[in-house]
A = this chain, B = another copy of it.
Amino acid sequence: MDIAAFLTSAGINIGLCVVLFSLYSILRKQPSNRVVYFGRRLASVRIRNDDFFSIERFVPSPSWIVKAWETTEEEILSIGGLDALAFQRMLIFSIRIFSIAAIICVLLVLPMNYYGKEMQHKRIPAESLDVFTIGNVKEGSRWLWAHCLALYVISFGACVLLYFEYKSITEMRLAHVIKSPLNPSHFTILVRSIPWSPGESYSDSVKKFFTNYYPSSYLSHQMVYQRGIIQKLMVDAEKMCKMIIPVHIDGRSLRPCCLCARNTTSFKMLSSEPESVKDSVSYADLDIATRENECSAAFVFFKTRYAAVVATQMLQSSNPMLWVTELAPEPHDVFWSNLSIPYRQLWLRKIAILLAAIVFMFLFLIPVTFVQGLTQLDKLSKTFPFLRGLLKKDFMSHVVTGYLPSVILMLFLYTVPPMMMLFSSVEGHVSRSGRKRSAGLKILYFTIWNVFFVNVLSGSIISQLNVFSSVRDIPMELAKAIPIQASFFMTYVLTSGWASLACEVMQLFPLSINMFKKFILRNQEDSSDDLISFPYHTEVPRVLLFGLIGFTCSIMAPLILPFLLIHFFMAYLVYRNQILNVYIPKYEGGGHFWPIFHNTTIFSLVLTQIIAIGVFGIKESPIASSFTFPLVICTLLFNEYCRQRFSPVFQKDVVEVLMDMDRRDEQSGRMSEIYQQLHSAYCQIPITSHEFCESAQERHRNKIQDPQGINPGTELSEASETWAVVNFGKESPTTKN
């Protein structure tokens, strides 16, 4: 591909981005779209709904960019939680390291590449992109030291930045734990695989076991019930609600209480206000939550955080497949339907899903191979002769080679996240965050394999089937392939990168659903069911993929770096905006995507270095090659150090912190209040349209997320100052993903 074709592609994308961003700045001012673009804010504050007409509503404005830029980290943390902040730090890290890389590579490496060979240079626009890659440097050139130096600077910079980021995220994680003193998940463990004893119910077994082995710290427990029975309970509850509401208390929202251990078979209706708990009416036993319907899983509550962590760290039984304990997820984070999966199935499920994911990864090769075919015009016009006339036109051929492949690939890639999410659900994760993390990992492996490696390897001289048979030659082959594929990656950054950001900010799918509802179905009521949480499982792998492309291309084809930098900068603004306005945080993962980011970045660095060794080998520069070896070793050592120093904090809770929190709460006498909350925290009720249960808690959480009530609607009012107060009927967002 030459510069002109590339610029065509860039032009299309820049145009598209400008159009979409302008469109966004208009659409977001329309009151009918507020549920699409201000979901998070709507969930936390009430806004007037005066739908008056103004010309300003139809003028594009960059105010959202200014707003996103001005938001501080503290605000991000309080609004989106630690996960959102960690995601921000990923983008900031990427901007920083690729700024360094862009400066050194464009100033130092790019000229070396361009003048690397004695050749007749054409005018720049007609120049092939390959002239700017390392492929243009002649064998045995002494200028390769510049590449080696650039590699050293980038690796060193990346490691230093990674270290400080990891350190600060770790500290923030600890600080976050300390700052959330009322988190019921700290006091709760999930026990699975409770052994069946003939004379007893599971509930009795749990009580017996924990009163025996944790007599001083065991508080109570709550069984998990079969799904079917819970649904039946819900139906009954709804019936009862309809009967009771007018009689009992008018106006106040009601919630069915959870089935706590203390009175397992009773069903209570409690008002959501804590002070009315004592008034709760205890109904007769309903005969439904009987022992036949218990699962072999339970939530066990402890008196202190420390005791709960102790119980999860220990091997309870001499048969390690019985009494399996783990820390319970946050109440909103529990993935109830997986709790009833027998524990002994889990390892089989994991293996099956692993195999399924691998098969899926390889089946995906088919569309990718097809996409690769498109970049080779000759082949294409041979296969589809009717296209020949079309392809002869210069513009069309630029579009087909420069743009179409990435678009097709991107469309196929949209099927991946739901598939991986399904895989992770079947795998049996008990928490939504765990499921998302696992899906994120799968998507990451998938993306790196199918977008990066398959494109690199299938596009190059090596035929796909022989790739796997030669281990030793992989660095060489990669070194040959990457400069050749650089043009593909550059267009990929433009299309998948820039355009997907524009799509992200536009929220095309929710927007069209909203349009359909409002203008076709004429349903003017905003539904809070549409509110979703941040899709870390797709966005973190995307950031990482661009990081991988950036690192590997940095010294081979430095022309990609400015475009990548623009991408990361746009991403920074767009995601900030989305965190502020669109996505609601439903549970707190505690920055658990950071270790994945760290490890993958190290992988990218090491891969870059290995490819560099291959390149220096091809270019017959043994000195540069041998200078790169220590770099690989140092990077791996650095990673090992970080693994030792930081990652345990992401896997286990720290005694110091928990003890101090326990003591503080004991001294301040808040413990009994916490115990009260514990009993009703975990609520195994499928979230239907009647969400009594969560509304109170949700409202409470939203208060926390907007602590000083920062800008309660200031930006909303800027968009449309006179929206009326909308009572959603049931205003709490769902906990579906």
Q: Which residues of A contact B (CB under 8 A)?
A: 170, 174, 212-213, 309-310, 313-321, 347-348, 351, 468-473, 637, 640-641, 644-649, 652-657, 659
Contact = CB atoms under 8 A, between A and B. Distances in A.
A585 to B, nearest CB: 24
Contact of A656 (B317, B471, B649): B317
A203 to B, nearest CB: 20
Contacts of A470: 469-470
A350 to B, nearest CB: 9
Given A315-B655, A316-B656, A656-B213, A321 B473 contact: no
A343 to B, nearest CB: 10
Contacts of A657: 318
Copies in the complex: 2
A645 B319 contact: yes
Contact of A347 (B313, B314, B471, B641): B641
Given A470-B470, A471-B468, A320 B351 contact: no
Given A313-B313, A315-B653, A351-B640, 19 more contacts: A174-B318, A213-B655, A213-B656, A314-B652, A315-B648, A315-B649, A315-B652, A316-B654, A316-B655, A316-B656, A320-B644, A320-B646, A321-B645, A348-B637, A351-B637, A468-B472, A469-B469, A469-B470, A469-B471
26 contacts: A170-B318, A213-B655, A213-B656, A213-B659, A310-B310, A310-B313, A313-B314, A314-B655, A315-B648, A315-B652, A315-B654, A315-B655, A316-B655, A316-B656, A317-B655, A318-B654, A319-B645, A320-B644, A320-B648, A320-B649, A321-B644, A351-B640, A468-B471, A468-B472, A469-B471, A471-B471
Nearest to A343: B644
**Closest CB pairs A-B (n = 3):** A320-B648, A313-B313, A315-B652
Contacts of A640: 347, 351
Contacts of A314: 309-310, 313, 652, 655
Contacts of A648: 315, 320
Nearest to A175: B318
A320 B653 contact: no
Contacts of A351: 637, 640
Contact of A472 (B310, B469, B659): B469
Nearest to A658: B314
Contacts of A655: 213, 314-317
Nearest to A355: B633
A61 to B, nearest CB: 45
Contacts of A212: 659
Contacts of A646: 320
Contacts of A652: 314-315
With a 10 A CB-CB cut-off, give which of A174, A318, A469, A473 has the most chain B CB atoms.
Answer: A318
A378 to B, nearest CB: 32
Contacts of A649: 315, 318, 320
A657 to B, nearest CB: 6
A602 to B, nearest CB: 15
Nearest to A470: B469
A722 to B, nearest CB: 50
Contacts of A348: 637
A318 B649 CA distance: 7
A177 to B, nearest CB: 10
A566 to B, nearest CB: 38
